Structure 1
Amino acid sequence: MVDDATQIRTLIERWAQAVHAGDLDGVLAEHAEDIVMFDVPPPNDGVRGISAYRETWPPFFTWQRKGASFEIVSLEVTAGDDVAFAHALLRCGMPQELEEDPENRLRLTVGLRKERGRWVVAHEHHSFPSKD
């Protein structure tokens, strides 16, 4: 049997692939109904619930279809018996942006919990470092 950390790593890697592909069903898979996400764009107090989370993705996919990258550079997972967290750095941006600032990374933190024996994402936080 695959250990919890490996299951979570696979879940996040599949999520990132779905984001890159613009696959909304894949992005929503393995997310809790009561997910809370703090994202780069507004709203500043985050989005709550799977329906609100779903609504955030179409504008991102539109932007991404213009040629943006979304790929995991590093991913660390810490898993307990029924809760876990992961943090990752991703290359996320248009080719010109990444060429001008090749070290810029999207920071991702994910909180997970086990529901009925399977891991689900209960919290996502996306941010970029301040340019100030």
Structure 2
Amino acid sequence: MSDDEKQIRVLIERWAGAVHAGDLETVLADHAPDIVMFDVPPPHEGVRGLDSYRDVWPGFFAWQASGGSFDIVSLDIVTGGEVAFAYALLLCGTAEEFANNPGKRLRLTLGLRKQDGRWTVLHEHHSFADESLEPGLD
């Protein structure tokens, strides 16, 4: 594992831990001022800029405090000189949801940029599979 991969892994694991703990300042710490996030809930055009990104977290923290989880299951990282991306699967749900659907995973993709020797998250995308469609049906 390269040094860049190690740095990015630490960054993402620290971020996920902060999300789990409801620590907003650490959630924001490694995100670029011009972050773009496409999230599961609206707005459909995404969230743009660090202030708008900051605004989405209190509602999620409140949901999580009522029994939700946010834990990395797998994490893969691909690096290049000044850009990288990571993709992960997370347990994000309640105990009841996992009892009903043990395979449910949140899909996470992050785009990162290295500036002045420091990695920051420039793009973040969360999604769940559309379970309303049966596999193999067109």
- TM class by shorter chain equals over 0.9
Q: State the Cα deviation string for residues 76-107 of structure 1 (Å, max 9, x = none).
A: 00011100000000000011001111100000
Q: State the Cα deviation string for residues 30-82 of structure 1 (Å, max 9, x = none).
A: 10000000000000000100000000000000000001111000000001110
Q: Distance in 2 between matches of 1:99 and 1:4?
A: 37
Match of 1:107 in 2: 107
TM-score, scaled relative to structure 2:
0.93
* Aligned residue pair count: 131
Q: Distance in 1 between matches of 2:53 and 2:99?
A: 30
Q: Distance in 1 between matches of 2:48 and 2:112?
A: 15
Ranges of 4+ aligned residues in structure 1 off by more than 3 Å:
none
In the alignment, structure 2 segments of 5+ residues that lack a partner are 133-138
In the alignment, structure 1 segments of 5+ residues that lack a partner are none
Q: RMSD value over aligned CA atoms?
A: 0.7
Match of 2:67 in 1: 67
Which structure's CA Rg is the greater one? 2
Q: Distance in 2 between matches of 1:82 and 1:22?
A: 30
TM-score, scaled relative to structure 1:
0.98
Q: Distance in 1 between matches of 2:116 and 2:35?
A: 16
The CA deviation at 1:5 is 0.5
Q: Distance in 2 between matches of 1:129 and 1:101?
A: 12
SS in 1 for 2:44: coil
The CA deviation at 1:116 is 1.1
Q: Does 1:5 align with 2:9?
A: no
Q: State the Cα deviation string for residues 2-36 of structure 1 (Å, max 9, x = none).
A: 70011001100010000000000010011000000
Match of 1:25 in 2: 25
Matching residue's letter, 1:120: T
The CA deviation at 1:117 is 0.9
Match of 2:78 in 1: 78
Identical columns (%): 63
Q: Distance in 2 between matches of 1:102 and 1:22?
A: 24
Q: Distance in 2 between matches of 1:73 and 1:99?
A: 17
